[in-house]
Chains A and B, each alone.
Chain A
């Protein structure tokens, strides 16, 4: 399963997702500059990404906790998600994300 990720410099990376892992973990291990300060606890909003090309609607709806925590993110758009809360599966194969500005 693939993740197409655009970093803050605008460069596109194709990363191999892992079933059950969060997109944050794949981006972080793939060397993209993503702080993810709380380590995936939905507690810091520093793994903020935009979900592109219609993929936002295909994902399960974010939890209340994630929607609340997005209030602490910068430059939030309607397609914003916290990547620690987006879990890789066959259904996310080919997903397109862009790392949000710091």
Chain B
């Protein structure tokens, strides 16, 4: 008997019903779509990044990986592209730039997963393929900096610029030497009251043309640049009045500013998964090696986030874990159906699903 695919549909109150909710759209979450798809299980994926690939595309898109079976050399971006191509027939739905924030069991035994963007997924199975957690902006080690975050439009500490207009007429302090820092210096300079850039050296990782543009603005007096770092933030929580800047020679001075935009890239924090009630051991989810299920039935963990005797944090291990997880997930999502184990090389049924026959 062939399992009838359940169409994704909104449930009461706008929640989306699906077979499997996957947290994390890195290589392992993506391959899980393939293995689940062969068994006719529909997937929704949530990722805090704005694109698929996880660490592969965020940390090392251009770096070659040499230990993917059958691919002697592939970059993080290429591997992600190939996985996206491989899972295309299964039409998984992606929820990018969203963070999974809560997970609760419903009366009917299914799970309800919510995100910070208000998405609600109701599924038979939850697969945590979250790597080391969620990518979040690096927060400079300045005492009390968190009390100046979320202070409001154009004031306080911001790790991203959502609307440039909110920074019009403000005194802006930007820290960092990468493309984000320089791009925002250049883009905010025309509308800000003042823009000051601080960086730990008189050299930048950012693209040369951005650096040249910044130097021009500096020459024209539209941007100030100091080799310095922020040592303290002044004002009351939510209302920044200025910062203390320090140079490498230990000299310190006061700098008045309305807002502080640090751009040091992203780092990985476990995040709200720790609050889901899943048993954790040193920020990893212990699983069995037959099903890769956590100690909570129906919640699986694959890839770097899980732990078991002999675990190796390799992409290829995660692929294996995804295949076994899918078999176990099928029995939860389709309790009354028989799982037919088939090979893609010989099964016309699977080939039809893959759109190749």
Residues of A within 8 A of B (CB): 35, 37-39, 41, 43-46, 67-78, 80, 101-102
Contacts and interface: CB of A to CB of B under 8 A. Distances in A.
Contacts of B248: 77-78
B178 A72 contact: yes
A75 B231 CA distance: 9
Interface stretch (B14-22, B154-162, B197-205): B197-205
A74 B63 contact: no
A70 B27 CA distance: 27
B205 A43 contact: no
Given A37-B132, A38-B59, A43-B59, A67 B267 contact: no
B59 A41 contact: yes
B60 interface: yes
A45 B199 CA distance: 15
A71 B204 contact: yes
22 contacts: A37-B59, A37-B268, A38-B59, A41-B59, A41-B63, A43-B63, A44-B267, A46-B267, A67-B203, A71-B176, A71-B177, A71-B199, A71-B204, A72-B138, A72-B264, A74-B264, A75-B140, A75-B141, A76-B200, A76-B201, A102-B141, A102-B267
Given A37-B59, A38-B59, A76-B229, A101 B141 contact: yes
A35 B265 CA distance: 15
Given A41-B60, A72-B176, A78-B248, 17 more contacts: A35-B267, A35-B268, A37-B132, A37-B268, A39-B313, A43-B60, A67-B203, A71-B177, A71-B178, A71-B200, A71-B201, A71-B204, A72-B264, A73-B264, A76-B229, A101-B141, A102-B267
A40 to B, nearest CB: 11
A44 B205 CA distance: 13
Contacts of B257: none
- Say whether chain A's binding surface is mostly helix, strand, loop, or mixed: loop
A78 B229 CA distance: 12
Interface of B: 55, 59-60, 63, 132, 138-141, 176-178, 199-201, 203-205, 229, 248, 264-265, 267-268, 313
B183 to A, nearest CB: 14
Contacts of B200: 70-71, 76-77, 80
Given A45-B265, A46-B267, A67-B203, A75 B229 contact: yes
B282 to A, nearest CB: 11
B203 A44 contact: no
Contacts of B313: 39
Given A67-B203, A71-B204, A72-B138, A38 B55 contact: yes
Contacts of B205: 68-69, 71-72
